[in-house]
Chain A
Amino acid sequence: MAIAARAGMTCREVEKLLDLFLDGELEARTMRTVALHVTRCEPCEALLQGLERLQDVVGDTIGDAVAEVDFARFWPSIAAEVDGVQRSWRGLGGRVRALARTPLVIAAAMAAALVVSAIALWREMPAIPPPPTVVNNQVRIDTLTSDAPAVALLSESATNTTVIWISEEGRGR
């Protein structure tokens, strides 16, 4: 009870929010409060781990069920549909051949072929490389707390990349 009071939420309140916590649907402050409570309360942590396992099992079961579907059965019905479409196109063939004999259609076809060739040539041209982007990973750290025995901040000058480095080797020293 004292643990729950320290974390700002009772175990009963936290239990109700664990589903939303796992789905990442909690408001930021509540998320943090639940996370802090769980790290300090063994029963709630166990409950969260149980929910995580349950989610994994449900995910695996759905994956297995999809894997077991026999897609080969679909092919006969798809082949029948394709056959029907092909028959309707055969009727169009004669009309298209008659149209192709008219000069206007021939000219339009040549123009279309020229446009397609121009687009193909344009796409073949080498792309202009984008200008090099300057990486700047500058970070401002407002607060930092840790349960680890030692924490160090490292920084790299070229890109201002910061590392929060946790060392567990200082334990007991």
Chain B
Amino acid sequence: MRAAARPLAAVFLGALLAAASAARAGGVAVTVGSVLATDGGQPEFDPRLVAMKPQFDSLFRYSSYRLMKQERRVLDWGQGASFDIPGGRYLVIAPKELRDSKVSMQVMLLEGGRPLVDTSVALRDHGVLLVGGPKQLEGVLIVAIGADTE
């Protein structure tokens, strides 16, 4: 009985490893959205951000949110990419690996020759991390970074 189970376990383990390596080989789709949050004036919520409304309402107290720019790119593991952010800033993202359904990546937000944020994070697959605070026009910028493995 045990001898019969052994090949089955090997096949199962093989399938698991194959699935894991397929996810690794597929890379990761990184989405970067730049949101302008402002206060005062007529309250307004960009309909393109509706999926994030509960989080924004809970975390911030701004009256208006507008998506200024959104970019989605599929990156290979270990490959870095630079995303332009409004206000002459740019975001460097380098995904490292997928482990336990978490995407490890290096995230750098750069502004005028200085790193505003340089962080190493492990974000849940299909999850979103927010980086906010830099002044932008009459409000502040909130950058939403999402990662989806394929």
Residues facing B in A71-86 (CB within 8 A) are none
Q: Does B120 interact with chain A (Cβ within 8 Å)?
A: yes
A165, B132: Cβ atoms closer than 8 Å: yes
Give the chain B neighbours of A147 by CB distance below 8 A: 114-116
Majority SS at the chain A contact face:
mixed
Whether A158 touches B80, Cβ cut-off 8 Å, given contacts A165-B133, A168-B134, A168-B135, is no
A167 to B82, CA, bound (A): 23
Task: List residues of chain A with CB under 8 Å of any chain B CB.
Answer: 21-22, 24-32, 35-36, 38-40, 42, 45, 136-148, 151, 154, 156, 158-159, 161-168
Contact of A166 among B104, B123, B133 (CB under 8 A): B133
Interchain residue pairs A-B with the least CB separation, the first 10? A31-B80, A28-B94, A166-B133, A24-B81, A147-B114, A140-B122, A137-B127, A163-B130, A142-B120, A144-B119
Contact of A136 among B108, B127, B130 (CB under 8 A): B127
Majority SS at the chain B contact face:
strand
Size category of the binding interface on chain B:
35 or more
Task: List residues of chain B with CB under 8 Å of any chain A CB.
Answer: 54-55, 58-59, 73, 75, 78-82, 92, 94-96, 102, 104, 106, 108-110, 113-124, 127-135, 142
A39, B122: Cβ atoms closer than 8 Å: no
B119, A137: Cβ atoms closer than 8 Å: no
B80, A28: Cβ atoms closer than 8 Å: yes
B123, A139: Cβ atoms closer than 8 Å: yes
A145 to B109, CA, bound (A): 11
A145 to B117, CA, bound (A): 6
Give the chain B neighbours of A139 by CB distance below 8 A: 121-124, 127, 129
B119, A164: Cβ atoms closer than 8 Å: yes
Give the chain B neighbours of A25 by CB distance below 8 A: 79
B121 to chain A, nearest CB (A): 5
Which of the listed residues A145, A151, A163, A165 has the most CB atoms from chain B within 10 Å of its own CB?
A163
